[in-house]
Amino acid sequence: MHSGTRIQRNSHRRQLVLFGLLGVGLLLIGLISGAAMAAKGWLPFNSGTKVVTFPAADQRPNAQVTLNPGFSAVAKAVTPAVVTVEISARARPQPFPFSGDPFMDPFRDFFRRGLPPDEGGEQMPRRRAPQARPAPEGRGRLQPSGLGSGVLVSADGYILTNNHVVDGAEKVEVILTDRRHFTAKIVGADPPSDVAVLKIDASGLPTLPLGDSNQVEVGDLVLAVGNPLGVGQTVTMGIISAKGRSTRSGSGSFEDFLQTDAAINRGNSGGALVNMRSELIGIPSQILSQSGGNIGIGFAIPTALARNVMDQLIRGDKVHRGKLGVIISQLTPEMAAQFGYKDTRGALVQDVEPGQPADRAGVKPGDIITEFQGQRIDDDSQLRNLVAQTAPGTTVKFKVWRDGSEQELTATLAELDPKAVGRGSGGGGSPGAAGSALAGVRVENLTPEIARGLNLPLTSRGVVITEADPDSGAADAGLRRGDVIEEINRQPVSNVSEFNAALQKAEKKSVLLRVRRPDGTRYILVRPPE
């Protein structure tokens, strides 16, 4: 019994040894054959394939660049031309911006160094915008108050940035990437477009060429460069997420933003958005955020708009804008249906200013402007920008849809009054008529999204105030941005059209408003200007 077991075990050992020797032999034969075939070029994977030989680490300083170049070449070309902008101003009481803004959190609300974003709670209405003038003696000390970015666009020291970065500044300091400091002069600023130009006394400076933002496509790769949160120059990467965006939060809403998901935060304002050819295509200006931080929705002023403003400011001119003389609004599907218009592209004419180019050309309220200078109009913001960027005195052709047919009209543009721009007459939404009790007030239709942002019931109805001139009678009466107007003279209003009709009926008399806020409703009487 035991003898048979030992014989069986010995037999298994011999088999394992034989199999092992056979495997080693086959492996040696395969290696020798493979080497011979590779030497003769017979292996299929060797055909057309470059053999990469890695030298020793100390002999390949460029190995990382060769294998993974990334965006380093673009970053190296761009970053020297992006500067940090620090402003100083007299210590003075800060106005309280509207809290919990459901429309947009522009960088201007967040770029102040050391100040957190405004948090919840009812705030006092903003009474007057800060003025860029020296404070009287003894009225405050000059102290650092703001931080942003800028872009060198000429070797002799012209810098492109945002108006809100330098707004109210009494001293502006520019810091280059090589740590040189310069005191900058504000050459000019244009609040409606949020563009400003600075100048430093230097020469031979690195610059960024201005690219053609009109050629940018959704999906293009971009880099954002600036000094976010004061941590130092930072480069982030993303794509163009959308074009032609309007946030309707600027002073005059001349907006045609490039939207990007490149990470931008406080301090990126006025910096650079560049393409992969190291060209400047946009100036970061705003972010959409409920917290003040980046959530991947940022907006940049395209260079096509910024260049036009910058050139005029450098020449020492005021910014000239064309004027057609119409009050327009976005065309909603419901509004289009009321007019029998089977499209939502175009700009609805709410009113026509008497004696202005549109009036002389034959434009009527209720017309839908569908084309301007051969370019199809998608919405009111696009039309507003196209008209504004056309020089006053230019004869233009445009098409309007009226009573079921389209017709072409011709007009010679007038010049838009800069004071009217500052009051937001070129902005989005519908303004109160000049001379009426609500002059200086602009409203938009109240949507469920806006109602949610205002902490109001989603079933709320009315129009929401998006802008109120701090010098207007409406502001004196207590109206402020974010108020929802539900009634005018006891007449319910649920959209902009009803708001306009009620105002027209009230003419230039006092109006009794029922206004809703998160803490309830109230009646406010607003008198017309004297």
* Cβ pair 389, 305 in contact under 8 A: yes
Single-letter code of the amino acid located at 7: I
* Spatial contact of 189 and 166, defined as CB atoms under 8 Å apart: yes
What per-residue confidence (pLDDT) applies to 38? 53
Maximum CA pair distance of the chain?
126
**In angstroms, rounded to a whole number, what is the distance separating the alpha carbons of residues 526 and 85?**
42
User: CATH topology of 83-199 equal to that of 322-415?
Assistant: no
For 327-366, write each residue's pLDDT tens digit: 887 887 877 887 889 898 999 887 788 899 999 999 998 8
Find tokens 């970061």 and name the residue.
284
User: Which residue pairs from 339-343 have beta carbons closer than 8 angstroms and sit at least 24 positions apart in sequence?
Assistant: 339/366, 339/368, 340/404, 341/368, 341/401
pLDDT value at residue 10: 60
Residue 138 pLDDT > 60, yes or no?
no
Compute the distance between CA of residue 163 and CA of residue 159 in angstroms, rounded to an integer: 12
Paired strand residues for 185: 199
Distance of CA 302 to the CA centre of its chain: 9
pLDDT (average), residues 91-103: 39
Helix (H, G, I), strand (E, B) or coil at 397: strand
Cα radius of gyration rounded to whole Å, the chain? 32
- Of 146-160, 250-264, 301-315, 455-469, the one with minimum mean pLDDT is 250-264
Contact 327/430 with Cβ under 8 angstroms? yes
CATH architecture of 322-415: Roll (2.30)
Q: Sign of the CA dihedral 288, 293, 297, 302?
A: positive
Bridge partners of 210? Answer: 280
What is the CATH T-level fold of the domain 429-526, as seen in this structure? Pdz3 Domain (2.30.42)
In the chain, DSSP finds a helix count (H) and a strand count (E) of 12, 28
User: Could you tell me which residue, 523 or 8, shows the higher pLDDT?
Assistant: 523
| Residue 2 designated active-site | no
pLDDT score of 472 = 83
194 is catalytic: yes
Residues 107-119 pLDDT 10s: 333 333 333 333 3
Work out the average pLDDT over 508-522. 83
Q: What's the CATH number for 213-314?
A: 2.40.10.10
Greater confidence, 39 or 137? 39
DSSP 274: E
Residue 267 burial (C-beta neighbours within 10 Å; 0-12, 13-18, 19+): buried
Instruction: Say whether 497 sits in a helix, a strand or coil.
Output: helix
* pLDDT of res. 144: 65
Using the predicted structure, report yes or no on whether residue 231 has a pLDDT greater than 80. Answer: yes
- Do 485 and 502 form a contact (C-beta atoms < 8 A)? no
Q: 135: which 2 tokens?
A: 């404070």
Instruction: Look at the chain and count its residues.
Output: 530
Q: Which of 145, 193, 253, 269 is catalytic?
A: 269
Query: Which top CATH class is 83-199?
Result: mainly beta
Annotated catalytic, 269? yes
Q: How much is the mean pLDDT over the chain?
A: 78
Residue position matching structure tokens 């502001």: 475
Residue pair 151/160 in contact (Cβ under 8 Å)? The answer is yes
Check residue 69 and give its pLDDT: 65
pLDDT over 90 at 127, yes or no: no
- Among 101, 109, 149, 164, which one carries the catalytic annotation? 164
pLDDT at 90: 61
pLDDT band at 31 (very low <50, low <70, confident <90, very high): low
Q: What is the pLDDT of residue 35?
A: 60
pLDDT category of residue 45 using cuts at 50, 70 and 90: very low
pLDDT over threshold 50, residue 396: yes
Domain boundaries, the chain: 83-199, 213-314, 322-415, 429-526
Confidence of residue 473 (pLDDT cuts 50, 70, 90): confident
Q: Is 367 exposed, middle or buried (0-12, 13-18, 19+ CB in 10 A)?
A: buried
Can you give the pLDDT at residue 11? 61
User: What is the per-residue pLDDT across 251-287, written as a single tens digit (0 to 9) for each?
Assistant: 445 778 999 999 998 889 999 999 999 999 999 998 8
- Residue 390 near residue 413, CB atoms below 8 Å: yes
Banded pLDDT at 440 (limits 50, 70, 90): confident
Arithmetic mean of pLDDT, 72-93: 85
What is the arithmetic mean of pLDDT over 47-75?
56
Residue 316: per-residue pLDDT? 86
The secondary structure element, H or E, covering residue 163 is helix 163-166
Q: Closest Cα partner for 168 from 115, 89, 284?
A: 89
Q: Is the dihedral of CA 233, 235, 240, 241 positive or negative?
A: negative
Question: Is the pLDDT assigned to residue 311 strictly greater than 80?
Answer: yes
- What is the pLDDT at residue 227? 92
Q: Where are the beta strands (DSSP E) in 278-432?
A: 280-287, 298-302, 322-323, 326-330, 347-352, 368-372, 375-376, 395-402, 405-412, 414-415, 430-431
Given the residues 101, 194, 256, 379, select the one marked as catalytic.
194
Kindly list the distances between the CA atom of residue 222 and the CA atoms of 241, 357, 373, in Å, as whole numbers in the listed order.
10, 40, 31
